[in-house]
Amino acid sequence: MSTTLFIGLGHMGSPMATRHSREHRTAVFDLSADAVAQVVASGGATAVDALDHLPEGIDTVILMLPTSRHVEHTLLGAQGLLQALPSGSLVIDMGSSEPDSTRALATEASRHGIDYVDAPVSGGVPKADSGELAIMVGGTPAAVERALPHLKVLGSSILHVGPAGAGDAAKALNNLVSASNIAVASEALSIADRFGIDPATMTSVLNEATGRSQATELKFPRYILTGSFDSGFAYDLMLKDMTIAMGIADGLDTPVVDTVFAQLRSSRGRLGEKPDHTEIGRLYGLGATSQPPTQKETSK
Ligand code: NAD
């Protein structure tokens, strides 16, 4: 019977694979045996012990891996899945990958008679849990059509933005804006604090006025002003996405985001091991003493 192999069960892949297994026959694999055991225990998925012994019936692969290097390692070479999968299979890469790598992989997949779709996501762990991710899709119309039954289980917004690699480009640009929003709002809150306005009050002002963003509505109240810094999206993955976005800018004049990127990259050394991306706020002293807004103030 038709089975999907879901590879990469980290912060995002774990809740996504669990949701997927409720609607489609799903097998799961991760380098971490604990991650596999957890997903198997929480839903209807079965475990795959090693990728060189694929169970019968696998015709779709969903990848939720950290970077394009991990995706290439999994798909290419004599032991890679593009060799192992039957012709007519479908690969959906849902991680935030590099457009050039994705284009090359889609070309290589088509040589094996395999459809390839890049379908990176936005919304973080909360939306992965609720199945309300925003999904940006690249691929041929026919390949995207095949991917839809899988994507609909995971996301509430699915936008086909262009050919292979276009989803990845759109995702990187989204995260360039998203990270910049956190940095700009952090600076504004630190200025507010210096002026004598509490950062939580200033966050409420932004959320009632035109300075609001998903960062001010969710990330500041939940992860930054509380000092929890536990959104589940790593600072280094955010820098990876910004690097992808700046790479595709390809010489365009982008002085504002150049500055934000340079600042966030050079500040990385001031944070500890494996910081969360919301620790941008920590760079400005936020989360140490400030109080989060009340429930009413964050209810939007
Ligand atoms: P993560 O580091 O939490 O999880 C990655 C998982 O992949 C780990 O469980 C790891 O063991 C596994 N893995 C690594 N190499 C592997 C391999 N060769 N074979 C099998 N498993 C392997 O990462 P994440 O936060 O879940 O992010 C995954 C992707 O989604 C990244 O591209 C990231 O940029 C993107 N993303 C993350 C978020 C978020 O909020 N965390 C949101 C949107 C997009």
Q: Is 171 a catalytic residue?
A: yes
Distance 95 CA to ligand 1 centre (A): 7
Atom of ligand 1 at shortest distance to CA of 237? 34
Q: Are residues 119 and 265 in the same domain?
A: no
Q: Residue 201: which CATH number?
A: 1.10.1040.10
Of 205, 198, 92, nearest to 155 by C-alpha is 92
Among residues 162, 181, 204, which one ends one of the domains? 162
Tokens of 135: 């999904």
Q: Are residues 147 and 176 in the same domain?
A: no
Q: Are residues 177 and 276 in the same domain?
A: yes
pTM: 0.94
Of 107, 111, 65, 113, nearest to 89 by C-alpha is 113
Distance 237 CA to ligand 1 centre (A): 9
pLDDT in tens, the chain (300 residues): 799 999 999 999 999 999 999 999 999 999 999 999 999 999 899 999 999 989 999 999 999 999 999 999 999 988 899 999 999 999 999 999 999 999 999 999 999 999 999 999 999 999 999 999 999 999 999 999 999 999 999 999 999 999 999 999 999 999 999 999 999 999 999 999 999 999 999 999 999 999 999 999 999 999 999 999 999 999 999 999 999 999 999 899 999 999 999 999 999 999 999 999 999 999 999 997 545 444 444 433
The residue from 171, 240, 274, 300 that is catalytic is 171
Tokens of 208: 């009632």
Domain of residue 69 covers 3-162
Phi, psi of 46 (to 5 degrees): -110, 160
- Residue 193 CA to residue 82 CA, distance in Å, equals 54
Within 6 A (CB) of ligand 1 lie 7-13, 29-32, 35, 64-66, 70, 73-74, 95-96, 121-122, 124-125, 232-233, 237, 241
Helix ranges (DSSP H) in the chain? 13-23, 33-42, 68-75, 81-84, 99-111, 124-130, 141-154, 166-195, 199-208, 214, 235-249, 255-267
- Residue 2 CA to residue 53 CA, distance in Å, equals 17
Q: Is 165 helix (H, G, I), strand (E, B) or coil?
A: coil
What are the counts of helices (DSSP H) followed by strands (DSSP E) for the chain? 12, 9
Q: Are residues 174 and 155 in the same domain?
A: no
Q: Is 42 helix (H, G, I), strand (E, B) or coil?
A: helix
Atom of ligand 1 at shortest distance to CA of 29? 20
DSSP 28: E
Among residues 146, 162, 178, which one ends one of the domains? 162
Q: How many structural domains compose the chain?
A: 2
